Amino acid sequence: MNPKVKLGAVAMLAIAAMTTTSIVSATSATAAPANAGARTITSDPFGLTPPSSEGRKRGAALADKALAAEADNLAKGEDDVFSLEKTTSVGSMQFFTYNRTYRGVPVYGGGVVVSTDGAGLKVATVDTAQKTELTLDTKTTVSAAKAASKARTLLAKVDSVSTPKLVVHALPEAGAPRMAWEVVVSGSSKTAPSVQHVYVDALNGSILSKWDAVKMGTGQGFYNGQVNITTSSGFTMRDGTRSGLACGGQNGSPYTKSTDSWGNGQGTNLETACVDAYYAAQKEWDMLKEWFNYNGINGRGGGYPARVGLNDVNAFWNGSYTNFGHNQANNQQATPMDVVGHEYGHAIYQFAGSGGGGGGGNEDGGLNESTGDIFGALLEAYANNPNDPPDYTVGEEVNLVGQGPIRYMYQPSQHSGDPNCYSSSIPNTEVHAAAGPQNHWFYLVAEGTNPGGGKPTSPVCSGPSSLTGIGIQKAGAIYLASLQLRTSSSRTHAQARAQTLAAAKTQFPNSCVEFNAVKAAWTAVSVPAGSNEPTCTQNQNDFTITANPSAASVKVGASTTTTVNTTTIGNAQSIALTATGAPTGTTVSFSPATITSGQSSSVSIATSASTPAGRYTININGAGASISHATTFTLTVTTDNPGQDDFSVAVNPSSATVQPGGSTNATLSTTVTSGNAQSVSLTASGAPTGTTVSFGSPTINSGQSSSVSIATSSTTPAGTYTITLNGAGASVSHAATFTLTVNSDQGGTDWKEWKQYNAGDIVTYSGVRYRCLQSHTSLPGWDPPNVPALWQRL
């Protein structure tokens, strides 16, 4: 096993898609095929096996143990409480992010990230930004109202101010821990939109730190040709299979029309701009899942809408949605693929790890801008659309001011002399220019100095003059994993180096090639090694494991066999064989159950009469003396009567929570389990009073999917309900269940001044219903139509 990694000063422990409609975006560019960029993607790129359900359970238990064992190194005091905020995975790594409270008060900068391998057997890192144990008094002398007034002074124009939240500010860069008020101020500076997260000292009223959720970029409006996008019933640009993705105009409502044909190919047409932005956002979601085993834009299955028609030569992410303007000539919208990927890259950065948002300061700002550029390049590579071929330039199709691309990742100095490499001046460099060193690093990791194949050469600032890349997909897996290790809202290049090395070591535990490429590229852009930098030594004793055959189909009650084969790397070692993931009523046995690497074992897989028909992935695990590996076996179980037509039904997601009057969406998918496809009629039962359940396609063929819309009303009582989604076929019927939780409405539905509203609350104003987007106290003139940043029209 590789030795455990140390970061900072912390010691380390010894979807089934709905029916996709063909959407035509007429374009002046040559139209691409409807499946432009289609490719066969394995779910196990480079051997990065996604965590199994058992691996996730073991990882969660291991993370809790690591948290307890490392309490002293995490500056945990007797008044501290940790709670699991989220679990994410990237490739074959798992990340468990914990929030910290002190005497019941949230600690900003006190979060902890524990990373493990995919099997949940080994801890890779345990880290926090907080360095000192908390002993302070939680009393305050500055009121919440005064803190809000102080925060308002940062913006020239203020649209809204959130209700101040009391926190402990524990980021080391702000000095000793202090009680603080967290205030979110939305509006604009003298030059641009802004959503400032401000931390006001609760004892003296000074500003301890701040960061802006609005991340600005630039781009243009070329088109992606004829493409397929996923819309929802009623021909609306809202994705029922990728939660949160939608596209519309500046009022925040998704575009809706009477047909499912969108766009006219004109550079000034906003519907066409939404085709480009929406297509790119869906591709970015798919890339994260298929390349990196990452769940949605925020890592937890969530995405964010896009808006077009911004009256500005720009594009930005504001913490809640992306917004796209136009070029200086105002004849093209700012929605090419790399610009869209860039803005959603800011969202990925904001929600990764426990870093507490987008960060402040020019060095972190440069790393954030670089993150956007990296995901723009990754998106182009994944989509592989011939109308926008993959490259490492940013906005290459925009003629923003007649000067071509706005950044060159392989040689940043080609644009206005932006820095190729790191120096002490980077923390004082404008953030887009400060993106240069990390952009340059990413290109060197992915492609090297002389990649050939028409790709540009790239210089180095220090170290060896010739570097070999590992490919953009591996480089992306390492970088995305490193973002999950963020524990501070202000990331530095030194932290980025340490975190990417830790990620490379854990993602690729049986090779030092990737680790060394990451290390050499940081040296090449003049980011020096840290004092606690991890090292990589090739594991001398290792083995491989495969199953042959790797799949079989049996009738209910029947058995099948396969053979587990292993090979030895270095010295032979004992391997204990186990299996997980077998369906109900199925046993998996090995003969023998313990082998020496290089040997084989016969595997018997026996179903029973109680085994349900379906397709299952069985994990065959090999636990060696120094390392563990796994392989998979796909078992298809059919009914006793091979001539009977049958299917299964599933719903994703299978639960949701809404306020009265709110709605949610899911996807009901069916799979043919035996025989031929058949017509399936979809109905629902068990919905609470005042709730309607509708299907995008009430009748489908087994093997197809349908969107499901569940809409409550103001009369729907609070409670938790089980809704049964029924699929009635010609020969058999099946059902899936959806758990709907309806929260209390928290007061009347009429909007009022001087009232506290929380995110998710539903109000009515002038006969129109709105959902609150962020908690705040309403003020005169802050009614929903006037403040779209706080309210979403339903």
In angstroms, rounded to a whole number, what is the distance separating the alpha carbons of residues 309 and 330? 11
In angstroms, rounded to a whole number, what is the distance separating the alpha carbons of residues 467 and 790? 49
Q: Find the helix packing angle between 493-507 and 362-383, rounded to 10°.
A: 40
In angstroms, rounded to a whole number, what is the distance separating the alpha carbons of residues 696 and 339? 32
DSSP SS3 for 372: helix
In angstroms, rounded to a whole number, what is the distance separating the alpha carbons of residues 144 and 157? 20
In angstroms, rounded to a whole number, what is the distance separating the alpha carbons of residues 173 and 486? 15
In angstroms, rounded to a whole number, what is the distance separating the alpha carbons of residues 320 and 771? 14
In angstroms, rounded to a whole number, what is the distance separating the alpha carbons of residues 477 and 292? 6
DSSP-assigned states of every residue in 583-621: PTT-EEEEESSEEEBTBEEEEEEE--TTPPSEEEEEEEE
pLDDT at 400: 64
Q: Would you give the DSSP letter of residue 772? A: E
Contact at 8 Å (CB) between 490 and 120?
A: no
DSSP SS3 for 767: coil
Which residue type sits at 39? R
pLDDT at 26: 27
* Mean pLDDT, each 10-residue run in order, the chain (794 residues): 28 24 26 32 48 85 90 90 90 91 92 90 89 92 92 88 92 87 86 82 93 50 63 77 90 87 84 93 93 92 94 89 91 92 95 70 90 97 90 82 85 94 94 96 97 94 95 96 88 94 89 94 96 79 87 89 88 92 93 94 93 86 87 82 74 82 85 81 91 90 87 84 89 86 62 73 81 71 72 80
In angstroms, rounded to a whole number, what is the distance separating the alpha carbons of residues 476 and 416? 27
Contacts of 196 (CB under 8 A, 6+ apart): 151, 154, 155, 184, 185, 186, 210, 211, 212, 213
Vertex 55 angle, CA 52 and 57, to 5°? 115
User: In terms of residues, how long is the chain?
Assistant: 794
Q: Chain centroid to CA 485: how far?
A: 14
What the block records as the tokens of 511 is 């090779």
Q: Chain centroid to CA 644: how far?
A: 41
- 3-state SS of 170-188? CCHHHCCCEEEEEEEEEEE
**Pure H helices in 122-233:** 144-152
DSSP SS3 for 679: strand
H helix or E strand, kind and range, residue 746: none
In angstroms, rounded to a whole number, what is the distance separating the alpha carbons of residues 248 and 237? 7
pLDDT at 10: 25
In angstroms, rounded to a whole number, what is the distance separating the alpha carbons of residues 765 and 750? 6
Q: Any idea which residue has 């082998």 for tokens?
A: 595
Contact at 8 Å (CB) between 682 and 699?
A: yes
- 3-state SS of 452-501? CCCCCCCCCCCCCCCCECCCHHHHHHHHHHHHCCCCCCCCCHHHHHHHHH
In angstroms, rounded to a whole number, what is the distance separating the alpha carbons of residues 476 and 443? 11
- Phi, psi values for residue 413, rounded to 5°: -65, -10
Contact at 8 Å (CB) between 762 and 770?
A: yes
* Start-to-end CA span in the chain (Å): 54
Helices (H) and strands (E) in the chain, counts: 9, 42
In angstroms, rounded to a whole number, what is the distance separating the alpha carbons of residues 685 and 331? 51
Contact at 8 Å (CB) between 701 and 684?
A: no
The count of C-alpha atoms lying within 13 angstroms of the C-alpha of 422, restricted to the half-sphere facing its C-beta, is 23
Closest by Cα among 164, 162, 146 to 105: 164
**What is the pTM (predicted TM-score) of this model?**
0.59
Edge-first strand order for the sheet with 559-569 is: 542-548, 559-569, 600-606, 587-591
Contact at 8 Å (CB) between 289 and 378?
A: no
Which residue type sits at 103? R
Contact at 8 Å (CB) between 292 and 266?
A: no
In angstroms, rounded to a whole number, what is the distance separating the alpha carbons of residues 510 and 23? 44
H helix or E strand, kind and range, residue 505: helix 493-507
Contacts of 418 (CB under 8 A, 6+ apart): 407, 412, 432, 433, 435, 436
In angstroms, rounded to a whole number, what is the distance separating the alpha carbons of residues 74 and 426? 30
H helix or E strand, kind and range, residue 362: helix 362-383
DSSP-assigned states of every residue in 283-310: HHHHHHHHHH---BTTSSSB---EEE--
In angstroms, rounded to a whole number, what is the distance separating the alpha carbons of residues 669 and 666? 10
pLDDT at 360: 62
Contact at 8 Å (CB) between 369 and 215?
A: yes
